[in-house]
Chains A and B, each alone.
Chain A
Amino acid sequence: MSALADIANLLERMHKHSAVIAQAYHQGMVSRMDENAASIEALRSLRLLTPHFDDTYVLRSSVRRFLDVALNTERLFQSGSNYGALLESLMATIQVYLSLSTASEDERDRYESEIREYIVEIADSIEDDLLTLETLAATRFGVVRTIAEKIAQNAFYQTRARRLVEFLEGLSFAELSEQLEPHRDLHRMFQHILMARLPVFLNNLSSILQRLERHLFEYRTIEQRASRIRMLGSHYRRHPDWEPRDWADVVDPPGWLQLSAPMTIIGSPAVRLTQPDTALVDIASSIRDGVNESVRRLKPEGNLLPPTAIAPIMLANSPMRLALHAYQRESVRHPEGVWARGWASREGSPAHPFRPDVWLLSVIHEFSKREYRKRLFVETRSATLPECRGNEVVFDVRVTRRGLVPDAR
């Protein structure tokens, strides 16, 4: 079976018992029961589980670390930070490897592989730690809410970051590099994975540290502000009538009192410039849909019907109109004119008798019009009676053609 098939087979078997692995990782241990006994035995045979006590089992540290790396948990940060131990192991392995002069090829390969793993593990741990720190700094410790907790977290991770800086700066990487130089592959790997990335790691760490320090300053400012606000609030509660001193009249008033007075700016469009035209057009088009828009509704145009389509209606003159015309004709013919009441009783239509007062008023109204004034003269026979409170009572009216009778009045 090839090495690839071995790996695939191992992962498949792990997947088969993933529930037990997850439980052991999450709870720290797993208890043996009927339903998981087979899985536990299988995982033990794969050297993934180790007996703990009282029929309980824990994950082997290598598996746990693998899961820590994969899940990028906080434990990674804590366990991975043990760079000293890792570096010691790396240096020890290199020393053993360099001392092998008579060892078999397989033995040398085994040590080379071990050195490679240590190099990758150190580089990955540093990178993971940086990522964790970067995330925490970027989210400003979003998982905690209060400023006090944020300050505590900030201080904790600043210490961690400083320790990492100290570790990287204190490393004797140059010496290791020299030792590995005769072994080209190992040396290239060491250079590429650790040495070349060292300045980037240090640079990132320094930037994270600066950010954490800035955040700490901000948190302290916020904390101080809250405390001052509380102080002033509590002062007002203890002294409800308290008022600040008259700071407006001190020689040098504080800056916050020197707000300038608002200035009203009123502009008018420059009518000789073309620019306002465009602006006004824009304004006009923008208010087209406004609420104050008045809509002029036009009635639909009418249609003229042909004259034949409608029968003409001939309006007949009213009896009063006819009587007035007849009375006028009669009055004009007689040089002395005609008294209206007498005429009405003689000539009026029996079919349309008028009340005397209506008849007299109609005669006065009709012949007092401007169109008759030049031709006709209206004379009334009237008297002022005491019971009528100053009103003149008209008994009769006479209409005479002007010029025929001397105008007595």
Chain B
Amino acid sequence: MNVFAEVVSALLRGAFVCEVTAPAGFRFLRNEESRAEVDAYLRRLGRSLATTPGNLAYYAAILLVQGDDRDRIRSVFKEIKHQVRPVLQMITLCMDAINADSAPSVGERVEFGALLNAIASKDHLASRLQQFQLFGQSFAPSDASPKAMLEKVITNLEKWDYLRRASKESDGYVFTGKLDYFYEVSDFLVDHEDIKDIEEAAPEPETGALF
């Protein structure tokens, strides 16, 4: 199958085409002429080619929102509402595990073993990992160990296309271009909802009794 056909099939399937999931297709879409060609084809099928804000992933969007599309939009919103907290929790967990002051970017690796070790060595991270159980039945681990919980989290993020296994041999995962889409969603929520920049105060050290 040629790259055009691969790209169009992936987009029609509802996939995000990015450097991680489809490198050849992504490079193809980086070219303006190819993009125009794909967009023209999608338009004939009532869709258009859309891109995430950082141009790190491409996807097929509804061309013109009509009555029938409302159900689809509701379904996407429901899915996003279901995913936003677990994905956010995973992102902040990754950041705090290595004390990073930057959020993970597309193509960044998550080493399962290293992340698990970091979580296991810090109680507050372990407790945040356990909170994933609150996000629904799909996060119920096979046992109570942090490893089982983290496996469950990774499995879900892989299923939702935010993570992709780096290779069959390694225990590393890579953030896909859908992460850029997620950042678009989170930016929108921060900008349009009543979310205030309140710094969470660090717990103050306890003062010992003088007497």
A residues adjacent to B (C-beta < 8 A): 146-148, 222-223, 225-238, 243-249, 252-265
Contact = CB atoms under 8 A, between A and B. Distances in A.
Contacts of B61: 255, 258-260
Interface residues of B, number: 52
Residue from B73, B91, B105, B188 with most neighbouring chain A CB atoms (10 Å): B73
Given A229-B186, A253-B65, A260-B61, A244 B81 contact: yes
A260 B65 CA distance: 10
A229 B198 contact: no
A238 B198 contact: yes
Nearest to B11: A260
Contacts of B102: 146-147, 222-223, 225-226
Contacts of B95: 226, 229
A232 B200 contact: no
25 contacts: A146-B100, A146-B102, A147-B101, A223-B102, A226-B103, A228-B190, A229-B95, A229-B103, A230-B92, A231-B197, A234-B198, A238-B198, A244-B81, A248-B77, A249-B70, A253-B65, A256-B80, A257-B73, A257-B76, A259-B14, A259-B59, A259-B62, A260-B62, A263-B45, A265-B13
A215 to B, nearest CB: 13
Given A225-B103, A229-B103, A248 B70 contact: yes
A76 B39 CA distance: 53
A233 B92 contact: yes
A232 B88 contact: yes
Contacts, number: 123
Given A225-B102, A230-B92, A259-B14, A243 B186 contact: no
Specify the main secondary structure of chain B where it touches its partner.
helix
Interface of B: 9, 12-14, 45-47, 50, 59-62, 65, 69-70, 72-74, 76-78, 80-81, 84-85, 88-89, 91-92, 95, 100-103, 105, 181, 183-190, 192-193, 195-200
A231 B73 contact: no
A253 B71 CA distance: 12
B183 A225 contact: yes
Contacts of A253: 65, 73
Residue from B12, B95, B101 with most neighbouring chain A CB atoms (10 Å): B101
A141 B104 CA distance: 18
Specify the main secondary structure of chain A where it touches its partner.
helix
A131 to B, nearest CB: 28
A148 B200 contact: no
Given A226-B101, A258-B65, A244 B14 contact: no
Nearest to B9: A265
Nearest to A252: B65
A235 B195 CA distance: 7
Nearest to B181: A256
Contacts of B73: 248, 253, 257-258
Given A222-B103, A244-B193, A246-B77, A265 B12 contact: yes
The 9 A-B residue pairs whose C-beta atoms are closest, nearest first, are A262-B14, A248-B77, A263-B12, A248-B74, A258-B62, A260-B60, A260-B47, A258-B61, A222-B102
A243 to B, nearest CB: 6
Nearest to A228: B190
Contacts of A237: 200
A235 B190 CA distance: 9
A262 B15 CA distance: 8
B190 A234 contact: no
A258 B183 CA distance: 16
Contacts of B91: 229, 233
Nearest to B186: A232
Contacts of A247: 77, 192
B187 A228 contact: yes
A227 to B, nearest CB: 8
A164 B72 CA distance: 58
A247 B45 CA distance: 25
A237 B89 CA distance: 10
